[in-house]
Amino acid sequence: MKVIITGGGGFLGSQLATKILDKGTLTGPSGKQEPIENMVLIDARFSVPQSDDRVQEITGDISDRDVIDSTIGGSTNVSIFHLASMVSGECEERYDDAL
């Protein structure tokens, strides 16, 4: 199974990534536990890089269609955790994007 975490560079996203990788499996569409084959973390910035070989970090904006298309691509067995958000200062600067 492929796992995608938006906001993966933030506190919650990085903690979730660690917990999922430690567990090694997630419940798939069949209701059975499936191994985590790879994980993609998407965020505008990363403060602490992941050291697990299954993890790919993508620096980008989730509102950019190309970033999302290249991340999900033709994947079929994907679990997505959407934790990305704009912080208050950025919302004030990019008001229309924050809506």
Tell me the fold of 2-98.
Answer: Rossmann fold (3.40.50)
Q: Which residues contact 39 (CB under 8 A, 6 or more apart)?
A: 2, 3, 4, 5, 17, 20, 21, 52, 54, 55, 56
Phi and psi torsions of 85, nearest 5°? -160, 165
pLDDT at 74: 82
Cα(35)–Cα(33) distance, integer angstroms: 7
Predicted model pTM: 0.85
pLDDT at 56: 94
pLDDT block averages, 10 residues each, the chain of length 99: 94 95 94 95 85 92 88 87 81 67
